Structure 1
Amino acid sequence: MTIGLEDGASLHPEMPPGMPSGVAAIDVAAERARTAGVTQRHYLNAAGAGLMSDAVLERTIRHLRLEQRIGGYAAATELADEVDGVYASAAALLGADADEIACFDTATTALRSIFDALRLGPGDTVIAPRSSYVSQALRLLTLRRHAGVRLDVVPNDATGAMDLTALDRALEQATGRVVVSAVHVPTSSGLVEPVAAIGALARDRGALTVLDATQSVGQIDIDVRQVACDALVTTGRKFLRGPRGTALAYLRRGALDGLGGWAPDVRGSAWTGAGEWTTDGTARQLETWEAAVATRLGLGVALREALDRGMAATESHLAGLGDRLRRALAATDGVALADPPAARSAIVTFTVAGLPGKEVARRLGEARIDTIAVPAGHAQWDLGARGLESVVRVSPHVYNDEADIEALLGAVAEIAAEAR
């Protein structure tokens, strides 16, 4: 039985409607077979932390055991080629070169490192969308308050995405060095920003684009050359299904020419004299020497799994699943979609009349259905501006089957009915 769908619609996740010709279907059964976490709960929170595959977990643990036997440095030296392979896999996924990839512990750290290296000061301009996440928004507000940087938050158009005409106007009026702090998919909705158009406008105006892709890498096929961004950051734990505490950054070759990392480290710099040092021109100039090698190797497995699965197939599958969820939830009495019209991702947000999002997520959790409530404090320029105190966020992945979707829709319908 399907719940809340139009007649003739299907929830069958293997074959989303409108899949492009020649794109293979996702084998959901195979994904579930290699993901132990699906056996106990209906897990629909990939945008928070996707479920690792068994192989990702085993690779991480195996390296920790090696470190236990021979020490962390010796273990890293022994696996140096495999560690280098993580950069190659990330580059293949993003359409970059391996020397344009850097590894971090979190995407927030990566963003901070990039913006520190840009050395923005009085009179320089940062342009940001309303879809900015709290960590980056606070970073930009701090630059405005303490470094004298001009901050221009661009309004949305009728679709809920960044208004490109307003962006072009902001770029024309910007002063000093100009950086567009773009977002691909926000934390607060299923919106997909027009990042290729944003990057093209910025490049035409001589501005740099730094893209927050934490909610898109792993669910949307991304080519950094086509997007025309100068830097991109993403986390490993979400749609990439890597271990927590892993992240990646792409830094276009030459983007920091004449600047270099704000806090040089032996990882990407050489101390050549009492007061002199040289900096590696690659993205690794932003890294630090110390790192959790075990989780980085686990991320490497997750990257290879994403490549093997195929990002075109993954994007088509997840976009179709998100569309079906939006239709079903919109047809449920007492439920209102919170996604803007430009929502095209697997992330779906909604509210239930009479209940705060945290309470809805709690009740779903009692039914062994994992979602999350996103408060306005995580997205004031978006949720706060729309007068939404919180939304419930659902984010399926390739390991979710029809039983997971049915369980969610049935439970939301019951919660909404009780609230009425």
Structure 2
Amino acid sequence: MPSPVLDGMVAYLQREAEIGGYEASAESTTRLEGVYDSIARLVGSKREEIALTENATLAWQRAFYSLRFGPGDRILTTSAEFAANYVAFLQVARRTGARVEVIPDDANQVLDPEALARMIDKRVRLIAITWIPTNGGLVNPAEAVGRIARAHSVPYLLDACQAVGQIPVDVRALGCDMLTATGRKFLRGPRGTGFLYVRDDFLKGIEPAMIDLFGAPWVGPERYELRSDARRFETWEANYAARLGLGIAADYALSIGIERIEQRCRQLANELRAALGAIAGVLLHDLGESPASIVSFTLRSAVAGEVMRSLARQNINVSVSPPTSTPLDAARRGLPDVVRASPHYYNTIEEVHTLAAAVREIAA
């Protein structure tokens, strides 16, 4: 987390302690409203198309459950879909009689747009894909999917949780109707933050599955009115310190330049893959021709959890991505727990080789 993000949050909390929660939020109205502008600049949208949420999963759920499905309707998704998304598909399928279908991959095991185009018919009610999955550097062709969705007027929900803050995001170019992301990953914002983008024209035809007096004011004894903007998906209560941190994180990333961040991340990730690939007993598991800055690997001599703990003792932070996070992909490839390394722009080439050297010692 960048220092300006931490400093901004601490300063706000200090002000809350001094004058009270309501008073602090009222005093910071302009800055809090500015968060919507920051996120809009980050993804290329209008501020009215942004809703702020407590995390990416909640943002995604609010988007997905606002859609209506019936018997025989088809939901098209990816083989590397995040488990939290997929169980929601299954729940809606069980409730409504809709069907969940996986879009085939191409020879590089990336979503195949041509196969998707062949699947489209009048029963397709949603295309919902993960842009970059949690268990590796695969980058699905989100723009190509958007072109197909637009051509057939099929709603398109894009999970950009691992993409925002790592690669450029332009919702107009992507052609998505809804996009969700977190603040805590590559954007380097605080935990407990996320956001939802909803295209303005699409917003007019959907209603949140659950509403709050903030998003849908009660205007008569038997009547409420939805807000005209994406904030209809929000609730009145919020962690304002975290929201300010999210906005500061977005501004910080924009000040560096998302294109520069992407270039640096890919440089570091490619360097790490090359170094790890040269170690006997290390297996790389990333897919695609140009993977992003999530490097997944396993060792023949140690399980992923042991590798993570061994590296942590050397002050090297990695995580473990279990098969339960992406069960379809893990099952088709026979993946166990995998070690996930996510080099970011602030890392150095020397740190990449320090990680590789530590892995070499574990593998020996």
Measured against the shorter chain, the TM-score band is over 0.9
Equivalent position to 2:128, from 164, 177, 181 = 181
Secondary structure, counterpart of 1:260 in structure 2: coil
Q: Does 1:336 align with 2:283?
A: yes
Equivalent position to 1:88, from 24, 34, 37 = 37
Deviation at 1:377, TM superposition (A): 0.8
Conserved? CA contact 1:105–1:247, under 8 Å: yes
Structure 2 spans left out of the alignment, 5+ residues: none
Q: Write the mapping of 1:348-359 to structure 2, written as runs, cut at 5 A.
A: 348-359=295-306
Paired position in structure 2 for 1:367: 314
Secondary structure, counterpart of 1:389 in structure 2: coil
Paired position in structure 2 for 1:224: 171
Deviation at 1:68, TM superposition (A): 1.3
Paired position in structure 2 for 1:294: 241
How many residue pairs end up in the alignment? 364
- Cα deviation, 1:301-350, whole Å, max 9, x if unaligned, reads 11110110001111111112111211111111111110113342111111
CA distance in 2, matches of 1:121, 1:275: 28
- Cα deviation, 1:162-206, whole Å, max 9, x if unaligned, reads 12222112223x51x611111111001100110000111111111
Conserved? CA contact 2:268–2:348, under 8 Å: no
**Among the aligned pairs, what percent are the same residue?**
40
Amino acid at match of 2:155: L
Secondary structure, counterpart of 1:354 in structure 2: coil
Q: Write the mapping of 1:106-185 to structure 2, written as runs, cut at 5 A.
A: 106-172=55-121, 175=123, 178-185=125-132
Paired position in structure 2 for 1:326: 273
Q: Write the mapping of 1:391-410 to structure 2, written as runs, cut at 5 A.
A: 391-410=338-357
Equivalent position to 2:190, from 233, 243, 248 = 243
CA distance in 2, matches of 1:121, 1:257: 20
Give me the TM-score of the superposition, normalised by structure 2: 0.97
Deviation at 1:78, TM superposition (A): 1.0
Paired position in structure 1 for 2:293: 346
CA distance in 1, matches of 2:10, 2:118: 51
Secondary structure, counterpart of 2:24 in structure 1: helix
- Cα deviation, 1:236-292, whole Å, max 9, x if unaligned, reads 000110010000111100213233222221222221111111111211111111100
Amino acid at match of 2:145: I
Q: Does 1:276 align with 2:223?
A: yes
Deviation at 1:354, TM superposition (A): 3.2
CA distance in 2, matches of 1:394, 1:347: 6
Paired position in structure 1 for 2:323: 376
CA distance in 2, matches of 1:360, 1:343: 26
Conserved? CA contact 1:188–1:382, under 8 Å: no
Deviation at 1:94, TM superposition (A): 0.5
Q: Does 1:62 align with 2:11?
A: yes
Deviation at 1:401, TM superposition (A): 1.7
CA distance in 1, matches of 2:252, 2:204: 34
Secondary structure, counterpart of 1:294 in structure 2: helix
Secondary structure, counterpart of 1:367 in structure 2: coil
Structure 1 spans left out of the alignment, 5+ residues: 1-51
CA distance in 1, matches of 2:31, 2:329: 41
